[in-house]
Amino acid sequence: MFQLPLVFLCLKSGEKLTQLDLVIPGLCGPLPDIDRLDSKSIHALIAFLARADQQTTKQKSFHEVLDSLFALDQSKPFPAAALSLLASGQYTEHGFWFHVDPVHLQADMDHAILRDTHGLDLTQQESESLLEELNAHFKDDGIRFLMADKDRWFLNISDHEKVSTTPLNEVISRNVYSFMPEGEDALFWKKFMNEVQMLMFQSQVNAQREQNNKLPVNGVWLWGEGALPDRSELQSMEVYSQHPLLKGLSTLNNLNYHSMSGVKTFIEQVSNQENNLLVLDDLFNVTCYGDVMEWQSSFNELYASWLEPLLAWAMKNKIKVNLHACNGVCYQIASHNRFRFFRNKKIENHIKTYE
């Protein structure tokens, strides 16, 4: 199991860091079932959560937590597309931006189950070719496509912005008919998504994929609408993450962003400022796939490589950790919590199943 050298467990002389905001979407599910969950790491996590002070919040998703931490206007949609493009240096102020991520739709009589690119083995060349076809087809409609990488596509348009969508991660492995766009311009976007499906059905890229026994990329998922928000009133915050949304939010608000490769690097570089935010998104998408054993394997790895040494460091230095599991609860973990042995340590009190 990963162990930090003693020198990294202690803060340097003079440092005054007293608390850390830690965001881990997917940490508490939801999962299809939890009866099969059983590992030392999971029981250790439940012990930490059971002993922590728990504060109920209104933020029940990753984007809602980020809205709150970055003091954004929570009455507006979370502009995931614009922020991601800002992070990659591709954002322009003209028009409105959406994610239109490539997906596979497995259709049946009365439903269609969505799969994202996890497991599709989509190549860079295939992605570029499909976007070239989309740009040629929709050019006269004033719709422009681009990509940040082979799995993340974007759309720019000058109107039809009055729509409400559902983030991709909330639709994975679900029936898409329950999550279609809503709002004044919903019909336009439903027709657009159907037209994309017909175009991709005819694509030589997908014909070749099927010949190679690969699932076709037969649709896109529209989400993440919204213009860039105004800068928040945050005076300062050090942001540590690998997620493009955090880089975009940091760029927007002129905050220091650190791309972290491991817990040792984080502890070496963590600031002594009052506001420090660490985001670990390892469980974000794996939670959506519905494979409980895959989730447990990913969690065990995350606990060994990040959570165990991080919490040991925090407890050693009397740093309060505000753990946001993106489930409507903020767990406040502090060194004095460790004496609460009487707390109920049932898994179902903290890791939830689908409603």
For the chain, how are helix, strand and coil distributed in percent, rounded to 5?
A: 40, 20, 45
Model confidence at 344, pLDDT cuts 50, 70, 90, reads: low
For 122, phi then psi, to 5°, come to: -75, 130
pLDDT higher than threshold 90 for residue 212: yes
Same domain, 58 and 132: no
Mean pLDDT, residues 213-241: 92
Is 118 domain-assigned?
A: yes
More confident residue, 10 or 296: 296
Q: Which of 131, 133, 136, 138 is nearest to 153 (CA)?
A: 131
Same domain, 136 and 245: no
Is 115 domain-assigned?
A: yes
Residue 318's domain comprises 18-76+239-288+307-349
Rounded distance, CA 268 to CA 9, Å? 10
Last residue of one domain, picked from the residues 196, 223, 250: 223
Is 322 domain-assigned?
A: yes
Vertex 50, ends 46 and 54: CA angle to 5°?
125
- Residue 335 is predicted with a pLDDT of 80
Is 301 domain-assigned?
A: no
Q: Which are the contacts of 140, defined by CB distance < 8 A and separation ≥ 6?
A: none
Is 105 domain-assigned?
A: yes
Model confidence at 205, pLDDT cuts 50, 70, 90, reads: very high
Furthest CA-CA distance within the chain: 67
Tell the residue number behind the tokens 């860039």, with chain if given: 228
Same domain, 267 and 246: yes
Is 200 domain-assigned?
A: yes
**Summary mean pLDDT of the chain:** 90
Mean pLDDT, residues 224-243: 89
Same domain, 96 and 199: yes
The least confident of 81-95, 202-216, 334-348 is 334-348
Is 203 domain-assigned?
A: yes
For β-strands 96-107 and 152-157, DSSP reports them as antiparallel
DSSP conformation letters of 20-79 = EEEE-TTTT--BS--TT---HHHHHHHHHHHHSEEEE-S--SHHHHHHHHTT--TTS---
Same domain, 273 and 174: no
Rounded distance, CA 298 to CA 64, Å? 24
How many domains does the structure of the chain reveal? 2
- Specify the amino acid at residue 126: E
pLDDT higher than threshold 90 for residue 49: yes
**Are the C-beta atoms of residues 153 and 132 closer than 8 Å to each other?**
no
- Residue 273 is predicted with a pLDDT of 73
The least confident of 115-119, 183-187, 193-197, 293-297 is 115-119
Tell me the torsion sign for CA atoms 248, 235, 333, 67: negative
- Residue 341 is predicted with a pLDDT of 57
Model confidence at 343, pLDDT cuts 50, 70, 90, reads: low
Mean pLDDT, residues 306-325: 93
Q: What is the pTM of this model?
A: 0.91
- Residue 11 is predicted with a pLDDT of 52
Is 302 domain-assigned?
A: no
Same domain, 54 and 139: no
Rounded distance, CA 81 to CA 206, Å? 26
The least confident of 6-10, 266-270, 335-339 is 6-10
- Residue 232 is predicted with a pLDDT of 86
- Residue 345 is predicted with a pLDDT of 72
Same domain, 324 and 272: yes
- Residue 339 is predicted with a pLDDT of 57
* Ramachandran assignment for 89, one of left (phi > 0), alpha (psi -120 to 50 degrees), beta (any other): left
Rounded distance, CA 303 to CA 299, Å? 6
Last residue of one domain, picked from the residues 177, 197, 223: 223
- Residue 338 is predicted with a pLDDT of 64
Mean pLDDT, residues 202-226: 96
- Residue 8 is predicted with a pLDDT of 45
Residue 261, token pair as written in the block: 């490769």
**Are the C-beta atoms of residues 31 and 289 closer than 8 Å to each other?**
no
Same domain, 262 and 212: no
Residue 131, token pair as written in the block: 């976007």
Same domain, 68 and 85: no
- Residue 34 is predicted with a pLDDT of 93
Same domain, 114 and 146: yes
pLDDT tens for 2-37 read 454 444 455 554 456 678 999 999 999 999 999 999
Residue 228: how many other CB atoms lie within 10 Å: 17
Same domain, 326 and 277: yes
DSSP H or E stretch at residue 244 = helix 244-252
Same domain, 121 and 49: no
Model confidence at 290, pLDDT cuts 50, 70, 90, reads: confident
pLDDT higher than threshold 70 for residue 337: no
